[in-house]
Amino acid sequence: MEQPLLEVDDLRVAVYSERRGLEATRRGETGSGIRLPGDELELPAGWVQAIHGVSFAVKPGETLALVGESASGKSLIVMGALGLLPAGAVTIGGTTRIEGYEAHIPDVQERSESESLKDRFVRKLLPLRPDAADDPEWRKLVGTRIGVLFQDPIGSWTPDILIGEQTAEVLEEHTDLSKDEIRERVFDALGEVQLPKERKFLSYRFELSRGEGQRAMLAAALIKAPDLLIADEPFSGLDVSVAKAILELIRDMLAQRKMAMVFVSHDLAAVASIADRIGVVYGGRIVEEGPVREVFYRPRHPYTEGLLASIPGLGLDRLRPIVGDAPPITDLPPGCAFAPRCEYATDVCRSELPDPSIRDLTLVSCHRAHELTLRGVRD
Ligand SMILES: Nc1ncnc2c1ncn2[C@@H]1O[C@H](COP(=O)(O)OP(=O)(O)OP(=O)(O)O)[C@@H](O)[C@H]1O
Ligand code: SF4
Ligand SMILES: [Mg+2]
Q: List CB contacts of 356: < 8 A, sequence separation 6 or more.
A: 363, 364, 365
285 in contact with ligand 1, CB cutoff 6 A: no
Q: For 37-46, 271-280, 330-339, which range has the lowest pLDDT when averaged over its residues?
A: 37-46
**Residue 136: pLDDT over 70:** no
pTM: 0.90
327 in contact with ligand 1, CB cutoff 6 A: no
231 in contact with ligand 1, CB cutoff 6 A: no
Pick the ligand that lies closest to the CA of residue 20: 1
Pick the ligand that lies closest to the CA of residue 371: 2
| Band (105; pLDDT cuts 50, 70, 90) | very low
330 in contact with ligand 1, CB cutoff 6 A: yes
How far apart CA 64 and CA 345 sit, in angstroms, is 29
Q: List CB contacts of 78: < 8 A, sequence separation 6 or more.
A: 66, 230, 232, 262, 264
For 368, list phi and psi in degrees, rounded to 5.
-110, 15
| Band (173; pLDDT cuts 50, 70, 90) | confident
pLDDT of residue 207: 93
pLDDT of residue 103: 56
Output the CA 106–ligand 1 centroid distance in Å: 18
pLDDT of residue 180: 93
Query: pLDDT digits over 216-255, tens only?
Result: 998 988 888 889 999 999 888 788 888 888 888 899 889 8
Q: What is the mean pLDDT of the chain?
A: 84
Q: Which of the four CATH numbers 3.40.1310.30, 1.10.10.60, 3.40.50.300, 3.90.226.10 does domain 59-89+111-275 have?
A: 3.40.50.300
Whether residue 280 contacts residue 286, with contact meaning beta carbons closer than 8 Å, is answered with yes
Domain ranges of the chain: 59-89+111-275, 281-364
73 in contact with ligand 1, CB cutoff 6 A: yes
49 in contact with ligand 1, CB cutoff 6 A: no
Query: pLDDT digits over 36-95, tens only?
Result: 766 667 788 889 999 999 999 999 999 999 999 999 999 999 988 877 777 788 888 888
Output the CA 281–ligand 1 centroid distance in Å: 12
Q: Which atom of ligand 2 is nearest to the CA of 342?
A: 8
Query: pLDDT digits over 151-162, tens only?
Result: 888 888 888 999
**Residue 257: pLDDT over 80:** yes
How far apart CA 142 and CA 303 sit, in angstroms, is 35
**Residue 267: pLDDT over 60:** yes
Q: Which residues surround ligand 3, an ion (CB under 5 A)?
A: 75
Helix 136-145 and helix 163-174, axial crossing angle in degrees, nearest 10: 140
Dihedral sign from CA coordinates of 329, 334, 339, 340: negative
Output the CA 304–ligand 3 centroid distance in Å: 18
Strands 89-98 and 101-104 come out as antiparallel
Pick the ligand that lies closest to the CA of residue 300: 2
